[in-house]
Amino acid sequence: MNPAAPASQQHIVLHHKRQARMARAKSLSHLVPAGMLVTGVVGVLTKAEPLTPLLVVEFVVGAAYLVLLLRELRHLRHDPHHHERVAWLELAAAGIAALEGYHIWHRHHEAELGGAPARIHVLPYLYALIAAIYVWLAFNSQRLQQRRFLHLHEDGFTGRLHPFSRRFDYRWEELTGVEPVGAAELLVRHRDGRERRLSFDQMHEGATLREQVLAHAIANRLMKSEE
């Protein structure tokens, strides 16, 4: 992220300074559907299972999944803050988990119809849960990222530094000053005597963000710029 110069209206999506590391860690979660895919391939190659239409569909989805995984890793290498409206990789992973879960359930169901004792099998339900989690991530990852933001406007500045925290909302009419503290923090002074520290230290380019807020305060005559 390279924030632009201060403006009367500016909305900035914030990123954690360890965003790249967290994105790579999330990519490791895709070892789970990859392992499911390998299990299915090994079963066919060793002739432990016949090549059924269901397995063919699973392999097609798996091929699409591998292509999307390589695409995701390439995006992370060039832009760790890249987020799509719909995370297609997560959808493909959900498809693999759902198909594999159904495949396992169907195999046990056929065995029970053939005379095997009826049992409760946990794995199909576990795979269904994994699929549901991936579907949720596919449609909410970008929305979660955008919950962390900084909005500079003519009446003050608002924002949220964590996706699940309450947002802050500071209005010029309620403040007596905004001062720099440390490398990437602000001391916000209220007219009623209250003070609050606002830290951008954990944000990507946190010092730059802090300077933007200070410049915005100067532009609105809340502070006196140093000559």
Q: Provide the sign of the torsion angle of the four alpha carbons 56, 62, 63, 68, taken in this order.
A: positive
Query: Which residue stretches of the chain have pLDDT < 70?
Result: 1-8, 20, 23-25, 27-28, 80-82, 222-227
Strands 195-199 and 156-160, how do they pair?
Answer: unpaired
Is the pTM higher than 0.75?
no
Walk me through the domains of the chain, giving residue ranges and CATH numbers: 17-146 (no CATH), 148-219 (2.30.29)
Instruction: Give CA–CA dist 145/213, Å, rounded.
Output: 21
Q: 13: part of which helix (H) or strand (E)?
A: strand 10-13
- Number of separate helices (H) and strands (E) present in the chain: 6, 7
Instruction: Give CA–CA dist 50/36, Å, rounded.
Output: 17
Tens of pLDDT, residue by residue over 50-61, are 778 877 888 888
- Please give the backbone phi and psi of residue 46, each rounded to the nearest 5 degrees, phi first: -90, 0
What is the model's pLDDT at position 80?
Answer: 64
**Sequential DSSP letters for 153-200:** ETTEEEEESSTTSPPEEEEGGGEEEEEEETTTEEEEEETTS-EEEEE-
